[in-house]
Amino acid sequence: MAVVKRIDHVAILVDDLEKTLTFWQDGLGMQMTHLEDVPAEKSIVAFLPVGGSELELVKPTTGDSGLSRYLEKRGPGMHHICLEVDDIEGMLDRLREQGVQLINETPVTGAGGKRYAFVHPKSANGVMVELYELPR
């Protein structure tokens, strides 16, 4: 049976990356390890590790992306929580069997071979959940 291994990251959607970084870095003393352009998601992401997880500050890079529409509708704030799983296909099968609404019916392969899929917030009490599996 597929299991959740850990919280990988919490993604926070931002409209002003520099202003947001000021709070996390200067205010809380966290350090950004790197910025990454993510063309597939039309965004730029700042990575701030904390414990065994990360905060990801996500800024849309175009006005026509799903992230931009989300930001326009809801404003800046938490976008999703990402959970690492040991078997993403098994987890998606399990969720489908329970009638959970999925955004991605099958895993998407991202940078570094990570496979991920999103669960619709309607099925998780208003929280968007990303599931991901590291390459084997």
Domains in the chain, start-ordered, CATH in brackets? Answer: 4-133 (3.10.180.10)
Residue 13 has a pLDDT of: 97
Widest Cα–Cα separation across the chain: 46
pLDDT tens sequence for the chain (136 residues) = 899 999 999 999 999 999 999 999 999 999 999 999 999 889 999 999 999 999 999 999 999 999 999 999 999 999 999 999 999 999 999 999 999 999 999 999 987 889 999 999 999 999 999 999 998 7
State how far the Cα of 112 lies from the Cα of 40, in Å rounded to an integer: 13
Residue 22 has a pLDDT of: 96
Residue 33 has a pLDDT of: 97
Q: Report yes or no: 46 and 21 within 8 Å, Cβ to Cβ.
A: yes
Phi, psi of 7 (to 5 degrees): -80, 120
Q: Which amino acid, 108? A: V
Q: Report yes or no: 32 and 47 within 8 Å, Cβ to Cβ.
A: yes
State how far the Cα of 55 lies from the Cα of 10, in Å rounded to an integer: 5
**Residue 113 CB contacts under 8 Å (≥ 6 apart), including other chains:** 134, 135
- pTM of the full predicted structure? 0.91
